[in-house]
């Protein structure tokens, strides 16, 4: 009974440890969603958008009235009070009042009426910068999605290489066994056996390299997606068997690229900054009002002292000094315009290049499919010739290597086609919008 408990405990512990490195089959859409919601880069992008929203609200608050309330209570030490008015009698006929305290309360309000449209243009600047940050956040997530695609594709490549090499090692080891028996019976030279054994060793070296790549890429992807480091991600092979049709034009890219839209919003903010600089040529006018209550002990009490009026402020030196500020603002606006033009050209080039790369990948994939058929048939023919003594060991081993390489090339080609497809979508600003995301 005691031994049974020990075995049960050992089995439970083994189950616990075995689940630590749990495999997780993951669709590409799920990986993209995790990156856009859980990664630090995505969260930081959202935080920056929230910061810009607060800054915009702060700027908008400047158009509202300023209301200030203050109060004072002060103790005075035997103040000498000499009233110049309201004595009412002969000099010295009454003693000076004893004053030991002062209480003062006041409230003031100020409403901006005109400031050369500076407030309105400051609001426009803040709104455009907020929009630019929103587009920047979307572009950040678009690039994150593309990074996920590349890691996902590379992980598929590494895992496919591992699987194909492992399968080839099994057949190569069986060949070594057969060669050992043939060498023992004097049917082949020992040199042929050594060549077969060397091929197995080379395959094993390639296998270890492929396993290293799987571990490295898997760790990178799991870290990006904020998954446990021990998670073994298994890409969905069905993703790489799809025939994707790409419909992307330069016009779509110019209207869909978030990084281009962000720069356009920054250009609008720069144009508004020119108007802000020009506003310094105008005076500032505000409506003011207030209330004062005062109590000077034993001297006077003032209540209901209301005041209102109009305030005017004008910096005369701005007539001479502000010209440089306006020129600097206009120069920055011109820079922003040139950046938009440069980015527009860049988007066109990237979109055209990405489309061409995808079409090339599709053509290469067809060739690699034919190559697998050719390499498989070539190995079959060489194997038949070898079995009939019409081909030597070198030909057999070379055909085996070519067959393995053709299968690896095909797997890589399928993966590259998917990567080029999503790269083209990203170049057109359609990557995240083309992926069906589920809400958590």
pLDDT digits (tens, 9 = 90+) for 427-437: 999 888 877 55
| Burial (0-12, 13-18, 19+ Cβ within 10 Å), 176 | middle
Q: What are the φ and ψ backbone dihedral angles of 160, each rounded to 5 degrees?
A: -65, -40
Give the pLDDT band (50/70/90) at residue 42: very high
Mean pLDDT rounded to a whole number for the chain: 88
pLDDT number for residue 40: 93
Residue 140 CA to residue 136 CA, distance in Å, equals: 6
Residue 330 CA to residue 180 CA, distance in Å, equals: 84
Minimum mean pLDDT range among 84-98, 222-236, 367-381: 84-98
Angle between helices 118-184 and 28-38 (to 10 degrees): 140
Mean pLDDT of 326-350: 95
Q: Kindly list the distances between the CA atom of residue 65 and the CA atoms of 10, 53, 60, 286, 307, in Å, as whole numbers in the listed order.
A: 74, 21, 11, 10, 16
DSSP annotation of 302: E
pLDDT number for residue 1: 43
Number of residues that this document lists for the chain:
440
Residue 354 CA to residue 147 CA, distance in Å, equals: 16
Question: pLDDT tens for residues 218-232?
Answer: 999 999 999 998 999
pLDDT number for residue 87: 52
Q: pTM to 2 decimals?
A: 0.83
Residue 158 CA to residue 155 CA, distance in Å, equals: 5
Mean pLDDT of 306-328: 86
Q: Dig out the tokens for 70 from the structure.
A: 């203050």
207 Cβ partners below 8 Å, 6+ apart? 162, 165, 166, 169
Residue 156 CA to residue 154 CA, distance in Å, equals: 5
Q: What are the φ and ψ backbone dihedral angles of 282, each rounded to 5 degrees?
A: -105, 155
- Candidates 171, 166, 191, 193; CA nearest to 181 is 193
């Amino acid at each position: 009974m005691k031994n049974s408990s020990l075995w049960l405990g050992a089995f439970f512990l083994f189950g616990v440890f075995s689940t630590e490195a749990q495999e997780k089959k993951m669709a590409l859409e799920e990986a993209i969603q995790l990156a856009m919601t859980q990664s630090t880069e995505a969260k930081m992008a959202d935080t920056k958008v929230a910061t810009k929203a607060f800054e915009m609200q702060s700027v908008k608050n400047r158009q509202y009235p300023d209301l200030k309330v203050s109060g004072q209570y002060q103790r005075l030490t035997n103040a000498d009070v000499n009233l110049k008015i309201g004595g009412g009698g002969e000099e010295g006929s009454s003693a000076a009042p004893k004053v030991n305290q002062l209480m003062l309360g006041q409230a003031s309000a100020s409403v901006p009426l005109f400031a050369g449209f500076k407030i309105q243009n400051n609001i426009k600047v803040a709104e455009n910068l907020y929009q630019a940050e929103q587009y920047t956040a979307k572009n950040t997530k678009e690039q994150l999605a593309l990074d996920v695609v590349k890691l996902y594709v590379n992980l598929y490549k590494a895992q496919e290489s591992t699987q194909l090499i492992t399968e080839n090692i099994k057949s190569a080891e069986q060949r070594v066994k057969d060669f050992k028996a043939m060498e023992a019976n004097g049917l082949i030279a020992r040199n042929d056996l050594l060549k077969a054994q060397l091929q197995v060793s080379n395959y094993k070296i390639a296998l270890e390299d492929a396993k290293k790549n799987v571990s490295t890429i898997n760790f990178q992807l799991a870290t990006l997606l904020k998954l446990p480091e021990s998670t073994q991600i298994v890409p969905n092979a069905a993703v790489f068997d799809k025939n994707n049709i790409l419909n992307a034009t330069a016009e779509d890219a110019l209207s869909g690229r978030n990084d281009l839209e962000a720069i356009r919003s920054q250009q609008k903010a720069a144009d508004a900054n020119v108007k802000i600089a020009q506003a310094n040529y105008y005076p500032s006018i505000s409506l003011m009002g207030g209330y004062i209550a005062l109590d000077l002990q034993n001297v006077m009490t003032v209540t209901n002292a209301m005041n209102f009026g109009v305030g005017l402020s004008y910096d005369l030196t701005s007539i001479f000094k502000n010209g440089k500020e306006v020129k600097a603002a206009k120069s920055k606006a011109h820079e922003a315009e040139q950046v938009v033009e440069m980015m527009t050209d860049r988007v066109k080039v990237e979109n055209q290049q990405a489309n061409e790369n995808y079409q090339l990948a599709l053509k290469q994939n067809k060739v690699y499919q034919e190559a697998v058929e050719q390499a498989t048939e070539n190995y079959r023919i060489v194997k038949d010739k070898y079995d009939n003594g019409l081909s030597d060991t070198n030909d057999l081993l070379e055909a085996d290597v070519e067959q393995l390489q053709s299968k690896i090339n095909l797997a890589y080609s399928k993966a590259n086609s998917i990567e080029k497809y999503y790269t083209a979508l990203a170049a057109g600003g359609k990557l995240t919008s083309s992926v069906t995301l589920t809400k958590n």
